[in-house]
Amino acid sequence: MFLSTRFSTALVTVGALLIALGFGNGSTKADELSVLDGEWIFVEDRTEGRTLEQLGPPMSSKFLMRVEEGAVVLNGHGSGHKDVRVAVDGTVTEVVEPKRVVRYRGTWKDGTFEYEVKFERAAADAPAGIGLIRRSFTMTPDGLLVKVAVDPPEGNESVGLYRHAEDIAMPTPAKAVIGDLNWLAGSWVGKRTSGSSVEERWSPPLGGAMLAVSRSVNTSGKMFAFEYLRIVERDGGLVYIAQPGGKTPTEFVLSEMGPNRAVFDNPRHDYPKRIVYELSPEGVLSTTVGQMKGGTPMRMELKREEN
């Protein structure tokens, strides 16, 4: 069971309210909607008929919903990650953008919050695109079930499961010491399909840790990204710590270890959730980042830089 105490309590509270007030009678008090409140992380694609490569979140890998009296405030549901307040009584919320007008209309019925987003071009030169998106959110024992349909009924419906971070189980750590990653030490360089170069420079294992810095340089010779990296020993295993742009660190737990392969997971992170390093017999280091299962991971091949 992955439900936190807060989540379980919320379900009990909502159940009591529905009995007392009469479920489906049109009441939209904040207490009824409270199960939707908080930050939600993508866990699993439940869309029927998809191949492994097609698996992915039906909307953002992470989004926020803040419940108010008679309304839900959305964040991360569209471009710009701006807050949009959507009433649950069918009232339309209009957002005017430079080249289009976006209209939101929401309802709360039978334990499901649903809203539609309609797009209208505000200028003749605005590009044509999606006309309507319909999203629904239903709490289940497994978590929050999200359904998204684009331009219904012609468009296909995607279904995904989301949970609060504290309700997502972390993987069982694999046993390892920092010396097991000695094959990763060194300076590794490669190129992306765009032509930009990337490098990772890993120190030898020492003192229970390995340190690295990554740098990406575009074809004009300008650095456009960097990252601080660490792998440290902890509780009999290894933890990979990434700081893109030197920002807040994110930790990934070593879940699988082979002679020349290491898999680090953090299912509570929005993206990536998995980072894999693998050294081929030919001496090529591949780095792969992506979801826990399926999708289209980003893969990079690096070669050891000779001094």
pLDDT tens, residue by residue, 197-221:
999 999 999 999 999 999 999 999 9
pLDDT in the model for residue 77: 78
**Predicted model pTM:** 0.84
Report the C-alpha gap between 282 and 162 in whole angstroms.
40
Helix (H) or strand (E) holding 229: strand 223-234
Last residue of a domain, one of 167, 189, 220: 167
Q: What percent of the chain has pLDDT over 70?
A: 85
Are residues 132 and 223 both part of a single domain? no
pLDDT in the model for residue 161: 98
Are residues 145 and 199 both part of a single domain? no
Q: Rounded to whole angstroms, what are the CA distances from 138 to 114, 158, 162?
A: 9, 14, 10
pLDDT tens digits, one per residue of 133-176: 999 999 999 999 999 999 876 668 999 999 999 999 999 999 99
Contact (CB, 8 A) for 104 and 95: yes
**CATH code of the domain covering residue 31:** 2.40.128.20
173 in a structural domain: no
Are residues 33 and 159 both part of a single domain? yes
- What the block records as the tokens of 231 is 């792998």
pLDDT in the model for residue 128: 64
Over residues 228-253, mean pLDDT? 97
pLDDT tens digits, one per residue of 90-113: 999 998 888 889 999 999 999 999
64 in a structural domain: yes
DSSP letters, 36-101, are G-EEEEEEEE--TT--GGG---SS-SEEEEEEETTEEEEESSSGGG--EEEESEEEEEEEE-SSEE
Over residues 241-256, mean pLDDT? 97
Are residues 192 and 47 both part of a single domain? no
> In the chain, how many domains are there?
2
Report the C-alpha gap between 136 and 109 in whole angstroms.
11
Are residues 61 and 209 both part of a single domain? no
Are residues 158 and 263 both part of a single domain? no
Nearest to 105 by CA among 113, 97, 149: 113
Q: Is 27 helix (H, G, I), strand (E, B) or coil?
A: coil
Q: What percent of the chain has pLDDT over 90?
A: 76
Are residues 149 and 218 both part of a single domain? no
Report the C-alpha gap between 179 and 204 in whole angstroms.
9
Are residues 204 and 137 both part of a single domain? no
- At residue 22 the predicted structure's pLDDT band, cuts being 50, 70 and 90, is very low
Give me the domain span that covers residue 81: 5-167
